[in-house]
Amino acid sequence: MLKETLGKFFKIDRRWIFLLLAVVLFVPIIKPIGLPNKTISRDTRHAFDYMDKLPAGSFVLFSLDYDPATRPELHPQAVAMVRHAFQKNLRVGVVTYIAGSTGLIQQVFEKVPAQYNKVNGTDYVIFPYMANAVAVMTQMASDFYGIYDKDQDGRDARTLPVMRGIRNYKNMGLIVCITGTSMLDYWVAYVGDKFKVPVLGGVVAISQPGYGPYLQTGQLKGLVGGMKGAAEYESLIGQPGKGASGIDSLNLAHLLVLALILTSNLILLIIKYL
Amino acid sequence: MTKNKPGLAFIFLLFAAANAFSAQPGGAGKERTQTGPMAPLRLAGLTAMDMPYDAGGTALLKWDVRPEDTPDTSYQVYVSSMETGGWIKADEFPAASRTSSEIDLPFWAWNAAPKEHAVKLELNNFYGEEQAAASVFRFKVTTVRDKKAFDSQVVSVKTAGNWFRLDRLNNLVLLLVIIIVFFLAVSHAKRKGLFIRRIAGLDAIDEAIGRATEMGKPIYYVPGIGNMSSISTIASAFILGEVSKKVAQYDSQIKVPHYDPIVMTVCKEVVKQAFLEAGRPDSYREDINQFISQDQFSYAASVDGLISREKPAAVFFMGYFMAESLLLAEVGATSGAIQIAGTDVETQLPFFFTACDYTLIGEELYAAGAYLSKEPMLLSALKVQDFGKLVVMVSVFFGIILVAAGAKFHWDPFVRVILNLFKAY
Amino acid sequence: MKLIKKQIPLAIVFIFGVLTLGSYYVPHKLSVDYIEMMNKWENIVSAFAFLLGLVSLFYSHCNKISRKTDGWGYSIFVFAGFLAMVIPAFLNNGKQSSAAGVTMLGWAFRYVYNALSSTMFAVLAFYIVSTAYRSFRIKSAQAFVLFAAAFLLILGKVPLGQIIWDAALGWTGAGVDQVIEWVMSVPAVAGKRGIMIGISIGAIVTSFKIIFGIERQYMGKD
Amino acid sequence: MSETWMIAGAWVAAGLTICLFSFLYKDNPFFKIAEHLYLGAGMGWWFQVYLYNIWKPKVWEPLMAHDWMVLVPAVLGLSLVTQFVPKISWISRYGFTFLMGYGAGLAVPAGLSTDFINQIGGTIRPLSMMASMTSWAVFNSLLVAFGVICVLFYFFFSVEHKGHFKKVSNIGIYFLMIYFGAAFGNTVMARFSLLYGRFDDLYAFAASKYLYATQFILAGMIIYFAVHGFLNRGKKEAEAAQ
């Protein structure tokens, strides 16, 4: 009798599993549970510390190169790091080399600056999309304005208060590249190494392990990886957001998968040996 | 294969010797004594030359390591395109760094002397690409110690594009060896009866087709999203030929949804031919091959729809797949089909492996075509592949022993030779 | 006729194959320029190959509509979808955003194409769970290894899993991320590398067959 | 882009998303509509990408500037289209052979360097640090090398896998299993993140700003399935009664 019921459970209609997963992922979006996330990985901590120690007024160049496909993981990272920069009164410049990310950058700067009373042009600036990243990166080493003479709204970049004293990489405190592509490798290889500018990275969870060597050698000062990294960074700046609710969802969903795998094996055992 | 090793090493050594000879500074670096108010500090052996093995536009500066290279000393390298003045600071580094051994080139193409500074200067960082390749550049090295700077003599060079990447010699030699083996194997291809081991999973093909015939349901053959130049697609077309031959014999139905129009035209021919060979040209229909879409996920959505509506008895996924692998395989599994997959995309293999009944892993897909058709040309190609794998296994085995021994007993040059041999430049 | 139907095409394969192959070993500017030009050409030729697909798609769905086969009504939506992307593209000259903000094309991309493709991609999350439920059953020693590796990776990726690991196996002194790193960088690398090397040899041999005109299935029958 | 367009966008996006997801429950007309729309939209998207990124800037504009070189690839490309006319379809071989030759020529040296020489090098290089390695690190490096050899042997087709050979190739399978399992587990998180992203969008569209797009569409879908299920049950019962 038990075996029969279990046998049925074994071949359970997959749609129940789908429903469970949907619920588990959706609920934390409406109501973040705040599951414990005590561990903060070393690389996120380093990234946070590096930005935290920059003197106020330093110029941070954000290269936000992610498109809607990697948005769930990278957008919360971008929001958290931009927030942190504003908290520390750093000047923020944004560039991008992925056409699809312009809309997402817009979304970041629709809300965040207002919370910190930051003004476009005075405290931050967004530059238009450029193709051919490597060429642009190399060019910026000698003259930033040779490439970016105007900001996204068509204002003369040289006269913007936020750009005061910025001519090339030497005048920048930090470069942050958040991407799901190999753009971060370019920043490290063509800019960080060559012109001795510190580089921080934000990447998707899958590509995170690949950056181990760069971190070891200090070519990357810190790395934020995946939704987990975003959640960690949010908790470091004391502003839980999409990263935190995302990691709640992921926590539960992963647990669900594990529970399912274990149940199916348990049933298998019972049917076989009892 | 082990016998070949000393031979190879010998060739490398020959080249190394020839190169060491040709890499002499020669007339490239003309030294000039500068006449000025400050007598320059002579750097012994300072030469400027064209960086070898490149497209031009990069210069190489060398000078001897000096006893004065203390940690608090640093060098600055200046470049100019003008007859006088116009100096641009190109590089700066501590005096105890940047020796020849830091330049990443193999032993047969580069003499890595630790007693010599070597600095690569990419001139197109400072000048336009055209100018960097065409004009004569002058260089000087400034030694900075205790905030005092001493200029060196000035040297000059015009860079040039080179004609051979000697550093890729190992690659070229390997290429030639494989070509020779390839032609040996192909010219012996007519010899019958080349042995191939049984490939599990292929027997399942018959079983799947048989089942489809019994149930009177169609078979789906999904060739993936590769184009005709991807190997997995070529292999898939061969397997499709064999599968459709059997389908024609059993008088079953087959459907092939396509992503790439070129693959579709090829597959049309393949299926038509198979039906002809099976003696059933009358059963061939033009709509066996069907074009779906050239957009990855809309292809997946549409094939999913087809599979879930028609509930085929068997589904084959053979070819090049990306993220849609699981989208397709899971729907096939739900609709109750026997699924046989094969792909050489290693990131997608885990999903096929878990969701399908049988999976041809990587190379097995290539071998499957040969195994099924027993065509001599395919079989002999498989032999070349086996030869290649043998080379790898033997190289790894002996490489690891030699390197470990070399490192243990500190035969550094020996270790370097082996590591250089197995490095792509 | 045989010359232009067969031999010249085979000569084209051979010449372009050998030139492209050779350019890898020649650093000279000429070779760099050659590769750049070929790259551009290849782009252009494959753009035309896309037309083949487009015509095939239209042909098959026109056929369905004109023959009124089962579900022919849905085929109309194929054309609707096509126009929904192409008309805005014409109107906006292929630009997704302008000084005034998002254009019609940008709108169509964001709310139609992107909504569809990312949803299809996201469906994978459901399937990955049901596949896991079905396939990670320990029926043999090999299946156990598969199960263990997957279980470990799934567990260790999220903070809650790390807490569970610490509670259950913390006494071993090895953190779950260390174990994962070991798995990913030692045994998994061996497995992956083996597959990759095998595949690359296969690719090289097949490429030779193409260059030397032995493999010519793609040319179709005479 | 005005407010109305934003709201319309939210309704369209939420609608299409839910229609595609409905396939998870079962095949239905809404999914079929979304599926066919997607077919068209996908091809439409790529059509305009090719048009504005290749045909216009790389073929049309150079031609207008009298750069006749682009005629070569353009003609090669056009030759492909002869596929549709069986009599002259051999012309398309010129285009195919160019693509194949170039692709094959690129693949060979790249495959040799990245997947062949570098992989061998990567396997043996760690041991060059032998003198300063811990015994654990030495063990790991040897394990990788051993695993690579076993896996390669699994793919060795020239000998029958019997006896000792069988053992070696079996060990190879274990390494493959670990890789498959680990790769599978490693991807789970990325896929969940994607789904989370879709849900997050749906949640955003559920706001009053978007006139509760998600709720209305979801409710409509549920009502459809309920009614459809109810009617079908009615039908089935009627059939059973006969």
Q: Which residue has the tokens 């502003």?
A: A239
pLDDT recorded at residue B192 = 62
Q: Does some domain include residue D235?
A: no
pLDDT digits (tens, 9 = 90+) for D131-167: 788 899 999 999 999 999 999 999 999 888 888 999 9
pLDDT recorded at residue B95 = 87
Torsion of CA A252, A257, A262, A263, to 10 degrees: 90
Concatenating the DSSP letter of every residue in D143-162 gives: HHHHHHHHHHHHT--SS---
pLDDT recorded at residue C100 = 64
Please indicate if any CB of chain C lies within 8 Å of the CB of A264: yes
Neighbouring residues of A147: CB distance < 8 A, sequence distance ≥ 6: A130, A136, A139, A140
Q: Does some domain include residue D51?
A: no
Residues of C in contact with D111 (CB under 8 A): 200-201, 203-204, 207
Please indicate if any CB of chain C lies within 8 Å of the CB of D108: yes
Neighbouring residues of B381: CB distance < 8 A, sequence distance ≥ 6: B182, B185, B186, B370, C205, C206, C209
Give the distance from residue A25's alpha carbon to the nearest chain B alpha carbon, in angstroms.
20
Q: Does some domain include residue D142?
A: yes
pLDDT band of residue B23 (cuts 50, 70, 90) is very low
The end-to-end CA distance of chain A, in Å, is 12
CA distance A256 to A24: 8
pLDDT band of residue B20 (cuts 50, 70, 90) is very low
Domain residue spans in chain A? 2-32+252-273, 42-239
Residues of C in contact with B362 (CB under 8 A): 195, 198-199, 202
Count H helices and E strands in chain D, helices first: 9, 0
* Residue B7 confidence (pLDDT) above 50: no
**D158-177 exposure pattern, b = at least 16 Cβ within 10 A, e = fewer:** eeebeeeeeebbebbbbbbb
CA distance D146 to B212: 42
Residues of D in contact with A21 (CB under 8 A): 195
Inter-chain CB proximity C126 and D24 less than 8 Å? yes
Number of domains in chain D: 1
Calculate what percentage of chain D has a pLDDT beyond 90.
69
List the A174-179 sheet strands across, edge first.
A124-129, A91-96, A59-65, A174-179, A199-203, A222-225
CA distance A111 to A114: 6
Q: Which residue has the tokens 């790439």?
A: B260
Calculate what percentage of chain A has a pLDDT beyond 90.
44
Strand pairing class (B136-145; B88-94): unpaired
- Give burial (CB, 10 Å; 0-12/13-18/19+) of A223: buried
Query: Would you tell me which residues 113-132 of chain B have a C-beta closer than 8 angstroms to some C-beta of chain A?
Result: 125
Mean pLDDT of B227-241: 90
Strand pairing class (B154-158; B148-151): unpaired
For the record, the structure tokens of D88 come out as: 């002259």
Q: Could you tell me which chain B residue has the CA closest to the CA of A137?
A: B125
Half-sphere exposure (Cβ direction) of D221: Cα atoms closer than 13 Å:
24
Lowest mean pLDDT among B192-196, C137-141, D173-177, D181-185: B192-196
Mean pLDDT of D218-238: 88
Lowest mean pLDDT among A69-73, A94-98, C48-52, C76-80: A69-73
Inter-chain CB proximity D155 and B197 less than 8 Å? no
Mean pLDDT of A104-118: 88
* Residue D226 confidence (pLDDT) above 80: yes
Inter-chain CB proximity C118 and A69 less than 8 Å? yes
pLDDT recorded at residue B39 = 54
Q: What is the mean pLDDT of chain B?
A: 86
Q: Does some domain include residue D5?
A: no
pLDDT recorded at residue C99 = 61
Please tell me what DSSP assigns to residue C122: H
* Residue B216 confidence (pLDDT) above 90: yes
Mean pLDDT of B51-65: 90
Question: What global pTM score does this model have?
Answer: 0.88
pLDDT recorded at residue A270 = 87
Asked whether B304 and B315 are in contact (CB, 8 A), the reply is no
Please indicate if any CB of chain C lies within 8 Å of the CB of D17: yes
pLDDT recorded at residue B125 = 74
Check: CATH 3.50.50.60 for A42-239? Answer: no
Q: Does some domain include residue D189?
A: yes
Closest alpha carbon to B256 in B271, B245, B246: B271
Closest CB to D112 among B175, B298, B423? B175
Name all domains of chain B by residue range, CATH numbers in brackets: 25-163 (2.60.40.10), 168-183+380-421 (no CATH), 195-374 (3.40.50.2300)
Please indicate if any CB of chain A lies within 8 Å of the CB of B354: no
* Residue B343 confidence (pLDDT) above 70: yes
Range of the domain at D186: 133-211
pLDDT digits (tens, 9 = 90+) for B142-152: 998 888 888 89
Please tell me what DSSP assigns to residue A220: S
Strand pairing class (B74-80; B136-145): antiparallel
Among D26, D35, D157, the residue to mutate for chain B (most B Cβ within 10 A): D157
Inter-chain CB proximity B326 and C131 less than 8 Å? yes
Q: What is the mean pLDDT of chain A?
A: 88
CA distance B119 to B77: 9
Residues of B in contact with A138 (CB under 8 A): 125
Q: What is the 3-state secondary structure (H, E, C) of B251-271?
A: CCCEEEEECCHHHHHHHHHHH
pLDDT digits (tens, 9 = 90+) for A238-270: 888 888 888 889 999 999 999 999 999 998 888
Inter-chain CB proximity C129 and A21 less than 8 Å? yes
Residues of D in contact with A73 (CB under 8 A): 190, 193
**Which chains have at least 3 CB atom pairs separated by less than 8 Å from chain C?**
A, B, D
Inter-chain CB proximity C17 and D143 less than 8 Å? no
Mean pLDDT of C208-213: 92
pLDDT digits (tens, 9 = 90+) for C134-173: 889 898 999 999 999 999 999 988 888 888 998 998 888 8
Inter-chain CB proximity A261 and C151 less than 8 Å? yes
Q: What is the mean pLDDT of chain C?
A: 90
Give the distance from residue C79's alpha carbon to the nearest chain D alpha carbon, in angstroms.
6
Q: Which residue has the tokens 């549409």?
A: B302
Dihedrals phi, psi of B369, to nearest 5 degrees: -55, -45
pLDDT recorded at residue B403 = 93
Give the distance from residue A70's alpha carbon to the nearest chain D alpha carbon, in angstroms.
7
CA distance B210 to B199: 19
pLDDT recorded at residue B191 = 67
CA distance D27 to B262: 31
CA distance B261 to B244: 19
Closest alpha carbon to C51 in B299, B268, D62, B262: B262
CA distance B75 to D112: 39
pLDDT recorded at residue A153 = 82
**CA–centroid distance for D16 within its chain:** 20
pLDDT band of residue C222 (cuts 50, 70, 90) is low
Q: Does some domain include residue D141?
A: yes
pLDDT digits (tens, 9 = 90+) for C12-35: 999 999 999 999 999 998 998 999
Half-sphere exposure (Cβ direction) of C125: Cα atoms closer than 13 Å:
29
* Residue D72 confidence (pLDDT) above 50: yes
Q: Does some domain include residue D143?
A: yes
Please tell me what DSSP assigns to residue B81: S
* Residue A191 confidence (pLDDT) above 50: yes
Torsion of CA A208, A210, A215, A221, to 10 degrees: -50
pLDDT digits (tens, 9 = 90+) for B106-159: 999 998 888 899 998 888 778 877 888 888 999 999 998 888 888 899 999 998
Closest CB to C205 among B162, B323, B384? B384
Q: What is the mean pLDDT of chain D?
A: 91
Dihedrals phi, psi of B221, to nearest 5 degrees: -120, 110
pLDDT band of residue B277 (cuts 50, 70, 90) is very high
pLDDT recorded at residue B353 = 93
For the record, the structure tokens of A127 come out as: 């530059």
pLDDT band of residue D94 (cuts 50, 70, 90) is very high
